[in-house]
Structure 1
Amino acid sequence: MNNLVRSVRATGGIGVVGEFKPEDPKLSYEMVQKGHLAFDWGLFLSKGQRIGTGQPNVKAYNRRLCKLIAASKAKPSFLVTQELPLRDAPDAYRHFDARENGWVKVLLKPAA
């Protein structure tokens, strides 16, 4: 999240969509085990950014999409234009925000 705050322009928006576990005792950091996140609130406020969150409505679409993918009628991978390690996120967001040609959907891989 802090990398997003650093990379997104002032007054820009950050969208966070995904699954969330309030607690996960198997994770290595005590803070994350409790569902907490170290967040640079000062930088976020000084840049006047906003965050929108939500969980995807997976149940409404997953069965239908799985059937389409299994039948080769849908190929979602065509959207992916880059696959990068997570450490490249700030640079990737700059390219994406500048609407550079070829920067449509970026997959960030935490372990890469």
Structure 2
Amino acid sequence: VLVVDRRSDRLRLAEEAGATAVDDSQGDHVERILDLTDGGADKGCECVGYQAHDPQGVERPEATMNDLVASVKATGGIGVVGVFLPQDDGAPTELTQEGKLPFDFGQFWFKGQRIGTGQANVKAYNRRLGNLIHHGRARPSFIVSHELPLAEAADAYRHFDDRDPGWTKVVLKP
């Protein structure tokens, strides 16, 4: 499992979970993925959504999708769990404001890749995952960076949204 990010705190958590961290601020991450996988990953997952941005901080909603087309092997699969909206008035271009992406469909088609999208079917998995946590077989709490009272939710979200160092996941307590 490879995790691409540029935040050292998140990359460190990925490594602690057993993944290989790829820092996209340190060069061409697509080439790094191709090197690490001998020509392309079997599958890739888009987990950022329309807020994807380049290392300089410029929002590029299409970036992760096109990077996945480039770094997933022919006939590989791409999962999309990042949030994409049918309309986003704050998006950087007229096209992306309409919820559309400049997507490398030609290369996607040529490589015979597949895409699956949508929100997680939480009800199908929550009981089983809850039992794994209860019995100590899964410990997702390692990604929690802060436990705060509900009254601090707005401030916590600002820190998370601004990608402030150390703000990986917040648990709010009423």
In the superposition, the TM-score normalised over structure 2's length comes to: 0.34
1:32 maps to amino acid:
T
CA contact (8 A) 1:11 1:50 kept: yes
Q: Does 1:18 align with 2:61?
A: no
RCO comparison, higher one (Cα < 8 Å, 6+)? 1
Q: Does 1:29 align with 2:93?
A: yes
Runs (5+) with no aligned partner, structure 1: 79-109
2:106 maps to amino acid:
G
CA contact (8 A) 1:18 1:56 kept: no
- Report the CA distance between 1:38 and its aligned residue: 0.6
Q: 1: CA distance between counterparts of 2:75 and 2:66?
A: 15
Query: Structure 1 stretches (4+) deviating beyond 6 angstroms?
Result: none
Runs (5+) with no aligned partner, structure 2: 1-64, 134-138, 145-162, 164-174
Q: How does 1:1-112 map to 2 (within 5 A)?
A: 1-57=65-121, 75-77=141-143
- Alignment partner, residue 14 of structure 2: none
In the superposition, the TM-score normalised over structure 1's length comes to: 0.51
- Report the CA distance between 1:17 and its aligned residue: 1.1
Q: How many residue pairs are counted as aligned between the two chains?
A: 69
**SS of corresponding position for 1:9:** strand
Among the aligned pairs, what percent are the same residue?
54
1:6 maps to amino acid:
A
